[in-house]
Amino acid sequence: MLLSVCIVTRDKAASISRTIRSVKKIADEVILVDMDSLDETRTIAREAGARVFHLKGRINLDKGRNMAREKVKGRWVLFLDGDEELGEDYRQLRAILRNSDVDGFYLPVIDLKRNPYTGKSLQLPRLSFRLYQNKEAYFYSNNRHESITNSILALNGEASLKILHLPIVRRAASLLFSENLLLDLRLDRERSLPDRLLTDREFLIDREIPTAVRRAREEAVEANYELAIVRLEEAYELAEDKDKTVILESLIPLLLEDRQYLRAERMIRNILAEHPDNLVFKFWEGYLEFLKGNQEQALDCFQKIILADLRNNKTERRLLAQACLFSGLILFSRREKEARLYLERAFDCDRENRIIIRALLELIELTSDNLFIFFQLDKPENRTLLLLVLEALFLKKEYHLIEEILERQKIIQENENILLYWQGLLSLKQNQYDFSIKKLRKIRPDFIYYRQALHLQWLANLLIPGKAESRSVANQLKLLGDYMDWHLLNYIKRIYFYGERILINFDNAVTGLRFFIRLLYFLDLFIEFAFQEGISILLEIIKGLRLPGKDSNLGILFYFHDCREEALNHLQNVIKEGPAWLEANLLVELCRKMGKYAEEREWREKSEYLILPEEITLLGRNSFLFVE
């Protein structure tokens, strides 16, 4: 037996089938050590073909990995986490392993998720020691994958450890949308890993606690949520009763970020039994009830937070804003007047929250007078708010209303770049291509959406083909130094104008993933402006790419643009690979709108946590037109 794959994980029902499927073609066996999951991880893993071992109680990762290593039979061992997938560039791996005499390999790990603590996504891959020869004397000494290299070096004196460019990918459910809105609707990030845990000497009885919390902060910033959770659980075990609550305020958001919903729910229930007046945990209780579709129970939790503020006016503003927002979302489609009151109060607490603004625009009578009065759009200090309102109106296709605002808005009139961008964008929507190009061409390079302005010029020239200027716009992009955009635009031009067949290869997986993100950006652009030939070209290019998450992102993108058949086909392909909560939720809405009621019931049963109803889901949409 050549290769054994080991997975040590907990509460990964949403992703474990994809992890196992990604290695089935190259692995002789798949071993999964489950660290007492509360969800269906073990059942799904068995159905996917893994040998499953169950460790009960709170077990450190190093013990789980050592147990997995003892169970394997292959000459080589590859370790993955339960939310990772092996990239597609593995076809030569078995040949490499048969002929290799090295002791082990570092593999690049690519994280597609947006880190809520840094705001960054798709950074350069980090190297992690995951693939090595199977020898009995090797063992993990701590929770990091790299800790096994200590025993390799101790046994061999020196070791041959090399880098193998076989990517491991941890992918987000969508590059276009936050699966559970936690990234958009979370509480203050500074509160999520509080500095008081690190500095208050009276608070810290055991000096090991600040070390564990500091390490948790470091792991969270690096998006190693699993390790961050381990660190905080260690701190929780060491803490006195009065300190456990503060540590849990850090731990619960991380569990939700890692989609360990059932574990978070159990912890919240236990802490509220002891501290029923803790408003932070009351909010998380309501949030989980909201995700499960238990709207009345969720509303009860959020209203307790709002009533507590009415009594003492001491509730943290961001927490109050979230409670009011969710209360408004729950009442959104059945008690509009009450929903609007909650959303207006949420807006008073957080005036630059995209979700709150978009929700309010669904309930306000949309006239320019109403918007100017309600949002006070003529005040200079509300410039950011004004831009957010314009973005929301554009996604609602309220183009004439945007024009009215532009005509009477003095803030925009004083900022030529903003005015030119919106005039060019709107005229392009109205098929006034020459006028659009004229406006967009005047935008200066220091404008935050300058790249989008160039793309819109280029698109306008494609929509009126035959102008040599389409090449000059591509040359402008080349001068900007954007390798991805220049090459992609060049590919599209060669296919569109000359009908060439293009074969695309990448030097490495990161380049391929970045290229795919740019493809999604341009596909969003082409669908928005109904450039059918361009849509066909991009789909043909995407068809030839072998990348994880392709169907999911395409399905969600078509869903946002109400292209129902295309969305249905791609989302169904995702579900065939295994459980996918977001995609199942969107399929429920699609089938309902398309009159496929039997299928709607089927998809509704796929997940205990149905994410959000459609009208709320659409509030979370990101548009590439308004990304810096």
349 CB contacts (<8 Å, ≥6 apart)?
317, 318, 320, 321, 324
Helices (H) and strands (E) in the chain, counts: 33, 9
pLDDT of residue 179: 44
What is the per-residue burial (b if ≥16 Cβ within 10 Å, else e) of 561-590?
eebeebbbebbbebbebbbbbbbbbbbbbb
Res. 584: pLDDT tops 80: no
Mean pLDDT of 511-535: 86
Q: Which amino acid is at 280?
A: V
Q: What is the 3-state secondary structure (H, E, C) of 580-605?
A: CHHHHHHHHHHHHHCCCHHHHHHHHC
- pLDDT(170) > 80: no
Confidence of residue 196 (pLDDT cuts 50, 70, 90): very low
Helix residue ranges, H only, 205-260: 208-221, 225-238, 241-257
Write the CATH number of the domain with boundaries 3-170. 3.90.550.10
Q: Is the dihedral of CA 4, 10, 15, 16 positive or negative?
A: positive
Lowest mean pLDDT among 40-44, 373-377, 488-492: 488-492
Residue 214, burial from CB neighbour count under 10 angstroms (0-12, 13-18, 19+) = middle
- Better-predicted residue by pLDDT, 134 or 610: 134
Residue 540 pLDDT more than 60?
yes
Pairing of strands 3-9, 161-163: unpaired
Residue 86 three-state SS = strand
pLDDT reported for residue 187? 39
Q: Which of 150-164, 358-372, 473-487 has the lowest mean pLDDT?
A: 473-487
Q: Return the structure tokens found at 205.
A: 């009885």
Amino acid, single-letter form, for residue 289: E
Give the per-residue pLDDT at 468.
Answer: 62
Per-residue tokens: 11: 């509460």
pLDDT at residue 173 greater than cutoff 60: no
Reply yes or no on whether the pLDDT at 119 is more than 60. no
pLDDT digits (tens, 9 = 90+) for 54-99: 998 877 889 999 999 999 999 999 999 998 888 766 767 888 898 8
Mean pLDDT to the nearest integer, 235-258: 80
| Higher pLDDT pick, 465 / 560 | 560
Domain boundaries, the chain: 3-170
How far is it, in rounded angstroms, from Cα 537 to Cα 492?
7
Higher-scoring residue by pLDDT: 523, 334: 523
Query: What is the band of 185 on the pLDDT scale with cuts at 50, 70, 90?
Result: very low
Mean pLDDT of 325-353: 88
What pLDDT, on a 0 to 100 scale, did the predictor assign at position 213?
75
What pLDDT is recorded for position 198? 43
Q: CA 25 from chain center: how many Å?
A: 28
Lowest mean pLDDT among 311-315, 325-329, 428-432: 311-315
Question: What pTM was estimated for this model as a whole?
Answer: 0.81
More confident residue, 622 or 522: 522
Query: Which of these ranges, 107-116, 241-250, 323-332, 455-464, has the smallest mean pLDDT?
Result: 107-116
